[in-house]
Amino acid sequence: MQDIGDILNNRVLLVALIACLIAQALKLIIELVKHRKVNVSVLVTTGGMPSAHSTLVTALAAGVGQTLGWASPEFALAVVFAIIVMYDAAGVRQAAGKQARILNQMIDELFREHPEFNEDRLKELLGHTPVQVIVGSALGITISWLARSAY
């Protein structure tokens, strides 16, 4: 039971998770401003502004650097992890979303010719644009710095 208490006392982890939740909440606000309606599904879907993945991993890396030192192996590990996650979010998953969009267009054209086929659409918003990743990263670092100065 003490292990759970230790996890809950891990400030770096808590700040990173709170940063991620803030990024998700910002998605809801941005969606509200953009479309003039509340769309709570943005809280649990991938993609959108800002990248919560980027916010989470950069807040984590910044917290590790602030706590254990910028020259520590743990900080190096956290930075490499963050780079991989952000590359995946902006690169691989963004490309998969573009492919899904093209496949959906092909399905739409096929259904006009053969309406008897079952129409299952692919999810198109999988990844992030580079701007969404950069904004998420800046948000994560900012939240980590603000949290560090608060305690």
- Residue 8 reports pLDDT greater than 60: yes
pLDDT attached to residue 149 = 85
CB 27 within 8 A of CB 49: yes
- pTM, to two decimals: 0.78
- Domain span at residue 135? 2-150
For 99-147, the three-class secondary structure string (H helix, E strand, C coil) is HHHHHHHHHHHHHHHCCCCCCCCCCCCCCCCHHHHHHHHHHHHHHHHHH
State how far Cα 47 lies from the chain centre: 7
Tell which residue, 91, 92, 66, has the closest CA to residue 78: 66
pLDDT attached to residue 99 = 73
Note the pLDDT tens digit of each residue in 26-71.
998 998 898 888 888 787 777 788 999 999 999 999 999 999 999 9
Per-residue CA distances from 47 to 13, 22, 44, 117, 150 (Å): 22, 15, 10, 29, 30
Q: How many residues does the chain have?
A: 151
CB 141 within 8 A of CB 62: yes
Q: How many domains does the chain have?
A: 1
The Cα 130–Cα 87 span in angstroms is 9
Q: What is the mean pLDDT of residues 73-92?
A: 91
